[in-house]
Amino acid sequence: MLKKCWPEASFVVMRLDMQNILEERVHFGKWDIEFKKKRMIYDGTEIVITYLQWDILELLMSDSELSFSIKEIAYATNIEVYEAQIYVEELLKTIKEQTGSAIIQKNEERYSFVEITD
């Protein structure tokens, strides 16, 4: 199923849902994301994010065809809407500044994961 959505990605094990992550590692382009170890590596450099930002990243990566509003992200991560806004914006900023790549994108007040193979 995920191979259909992300044909360029190598999946070690498939993910069932956000609460039951079975996938250990995703690799595409210059990206290597290890969920169990909570490591995000871009072109050999580790990108450090908070645990809550990991939860948000996992939610956004759970389905490449979905996008989420700040309210939906707040609900899914059990935080207030204003906190979700801060964490999501910092996640976007961190990834963009450290990699120049925008794998998390905002479109019309909704956020989504976009596979960029750089």
Whether 12 shows a pLDDT value over 70: the answer reads: no
Distances, alpha carbon 67 to alpha carbons 45, 116, 118, in Å: 27, 16, 21
pLDDT value at residue 112 = 92
Taking only the tens place, the pLDDT of each residue in 29-47 is 888 888 888 889 899 999 9
Domain spans in the chain, listed from the N-terminal domain onward: 2-113
Give the global pTM: 0.75
pLDDT value at residue 22 = 44
pLDDT value at residue 3 = 44
Q: Which of 15-19, 70-74, 105-109 has the highest mean pLDDT?
A: 70-74
CB-based contact 49:91 (threshold 8 Å) = yes
pLDDT value at residue 114 = 84
Q: From CA 35, how far away is CA 33, in angstroms rounded? A: 6
CATH number of 2-113: 1.10.10.10
Distances, alpha carbon 51 to alpha carbons 38, 41, 57, in Å: 8, 15, 10
Buried b (16+ CB within 10 A) or exposed e, 4-40: eebeebeeeeebeeeeeeebeebebeebbbebeebeb
pLDDT, greater one: 62 or 10: 62
